[in-house]
Chain A
Amino acid sequence: MITRRWFAGGGLLGLLAALTFFGAPPGAADDGGAGGPAEPPKVELVLDVSGSMRARDIDGRSRMAAAQQALNEVVDALPAETQLGIRVLGSQYRFPGSPKAVGCRDTRQLFPVGPMDKVQAKAAIATLRPTGWTPIGLALRAAARDLGTGETTRRIVLITDGEDTCSPPDPCEVARKLAAQGTHLVVDTLGLTLDAKVRRQLTCIADATGGTYTAVQHQKELTGRLNQLVQRAGATYRQTPRQVAGGAQCADAPLLTPGVYTDRERFSEHRWYRVRVAPGQELRASISLSLDRRLNPDHGVLLRAVSTDGQELVRGTDAGSGRTDVRSTGLRWAERQVKADASPTSGSGSDLRPVCLVVSNSFSSPAYVRTAPGMPLELTVDLVPSSDAPGGPDLGRGWLLLVVLTGTGLVAGLVMGWLARWRVATFKEN
């Protein structure tokens, strides 16, 4: 019955059905989470208020005016549960004119992350005037702090029109480090210019955190995209994997239960995990390795299931070349059922068999690319009842079967009929 519902509703519905089936309260099922305290979706908009925002090239209006209008519309359309914060950078010290030392520390929280008073927020947005420097790296760090730590995904939407005038720190490196910390963080970027340097910087930030990059040329695009990003944050923030650190070998690998995990893996590194599989259970695992930096074009990932004594059980692999976001693969494994062993040995804890999962990759990068922190690795583990091989068919099917049966029947009928006639005939003669 559960399987039926899985088919009918896809993943989410099935999850709901499963939770209800296992006696979870309906409230918890609505959360879609693993029963933890419900956290609201948290988004911070980071707006560049640097001097270059004066340029009037978005539908004839200044970039600042376009950004303000878009922010207002986002505030209006904000879903009730989403907690939105606004941070600005370069709002206080003029560029050029003020010393770099102060201009590059110029970021402030316009509106804290929390339930939003829409009127106040709009009033605050209206006060913004294009002013100063562009300390993007610093603003990202501060925004991550604003969003706090927690179990669910945080999103930063960075709206800027200029490259960072304050590096170091390089904003892309900052983004990668933030993403590698404990809390799952995604940075979406919106560039208000088609400038090549800005584009490279913003795509780098987006790729490093699994976010997106959009180049905006029109007011409608800016508003639409910003709304889309905020809505997406609200719809998907709960799908957050658990942080785990894989071991260097099977013996010291962390023991995983079904669920989604995230880790980091460097080039040519092997990461080990362990799962306990009961008899009659099937192990399912899948991995995704994100390409979060500049890499050489050809690459691959390999996921193997290995027994504790080093014997390979099954492997999943994928390789490719060119532009993509993740390389992923998966595997299924179940102990082959031995018929003689089918007698009930019972004993629940003792016959759990540990199986090791090892993730490796064949990525490489140009020499100037940093290899630390490693690339984001997503791992899902599932344990389900294993499915037996089907027996051979006992019945027939197909048109040929009908023809053969009918033909046989006809021949049999004719033979019987002739036999009967012949017998009657001989009886009469006698």
Chain B
Amino acid sequence: MRAAPLLILPTAMLAAAVPPLSAGPAAADEPSPPPTVGTAGTSFLTATTVEPGQPVRVSASTGDHLYWSFALAAGQTSQVSVTVALPPTGDRHGAATYTADVFDGLRRRQACTAGPQNATAAADAARVDLRCTLRRVRAWAEPWSDDPLPGTYYLRLSASALPEQDLGLPIRADVQITAKDGDAQPTGAKLKAPLSPSVNPGATLAPDAAAPAAQSGSPSAASSAPKPAELVKGRFSWPSGRWWWTIGGGVLAAAAAVAGYSLTRRPHRWFSAPR
């Protein structure tokens, strides 16, 4: 999030003036790196949840399909990097291709803006590196689009091509997921419910059943309709980046106007003829 340049200065000065307060929590966070995740799921449902920034190291077998899930918020851009330590070359029979696929909460394939998303390791290679930078998560998108939205994301690491003889050999996978904050587009929009899938078993209804009982818990149609107050709040939500920009612009304009005016009042050589 960007703040207006006018406001950066006072904030920075304030932060410098009271170092113990502002530095305290940051310093406390520093010495405890997030614990390494040592597990991986084998399906979308059983994917291991990972916080962005948390290192993952898992031992597995060639041919396994490994799943992790992580949450992204609007405006974030995530990068996934995977290193697969391959089995000893003596046991292998040929080249193997590894692929890192990223899916959103609805299990829709997500494009990588930078890769390589898949790489082929030669028979004598010791490791293979994969990388995938996702698109910036949008705050809102039409239901018909497949734009990245806030919610759960799944990472699947699999060997997409390998000799059949090489199945089941030991590998080790290191995964690093990072998320970088940014401005969410479109501004002022919000997805009411993140794309986080349900993991509970469902229940079927009799064909002539009334409205499902479960709906009493979830917001009903009436309550989900936007109220006028909420509409106003959404449009003039404080503090929005646009407010800072506009106010900053107004202040600058006023200052410039005063400056311009005073230039003409206190004559200088370059504005008026010398008296």
Judged by a CB distance under 8 angstroms, whether B207 is at the interface is yes
A246 to B242, CA, bound (A): 50
Contacts of B217 in A (CB 8 A): 22
Known: A199-B168, A241-B45. A387 touches B140 (CB 8 A): yes
Contacts of A308 in B (CB 8 A): none
Contact of B252 among A14, A203, A215, A402 (CB under 8 A): A402
Contact of A409 among B51, B190, B256 (CB under 8 A): B256
A32 to B202, CA, bound (A): 14
Known: A11-B49, A378-B44, A378-B45. A397 touches B246 (CB 8 A): yes
Q: Are A257 and B203 in contact (CB under 8 A)?
A: yes
Q: Are A284 and B195 in contact (CB under 8 A)?
A: yes
Interface hit among A126-134, A159-167, A227-235: A227-235
Q: Are A260 and B45 in contact (CB under 8 A)?
A: yes
Q: How far in angstroms is the closest Cβ of chain B from A401?
A: 5
Known: A323-B162, A328-B107, A406-B253. A385 touches B192 (CB 8 A): yes
Judged by a CB distance under 8 angstroms, whether A248 is at the interface is no
A388 to B60, CA, bound (A): 44
Contacts of A280 in B (CB 8 A): 221-222, 224-225
Q: Are B199 and A239 in contact (CB under 8 A)?
A: yes
Q: Are B44 and A318 in contact (CB under 8 A)?
A: no
Which of B152, B159, B187, B257 gathers the greatest number of chain A CB atoms within 10 Å? B257
Q: Are B254 and A402 in contact (CB under 8 A)?
A: no
Interface hit among B11-19, B26-34, B143-151: B143-151
Which residues B233-257 have CB closer than 8 A to chain A?
234-236, 240-243, 245-246, 248-250, 252-257
Judged by a CB distance under 8 angstroms, whether A224 is at the interface is yes
A240 to B198, CA, bound (A): 11
Contacts of A79 in B (CB 8 A): none
Which residues B44-63 have CB closer than 8 A to chain A?
44-46, 49, 51, 59-61, 63
A239 to B45, CA, bound (A): 6
Contacts of A288 in B (CB 8 A): 43-44, 107
Which residues A271-293 have CB closer than 8 A to chain B?
276, 278-282, 284-288
A200 to B73, CA, bound (A): 43
Interface hit among A54-62, A89-97, A410-418: A410-418
What are the nearest 10 A-B pairs in CB distance?
A259-B202, A413-B260, A417-B264, A330-B106, A409-B253, A390-B189, A215-B168, A413-B257, A384-B193, A395-B242
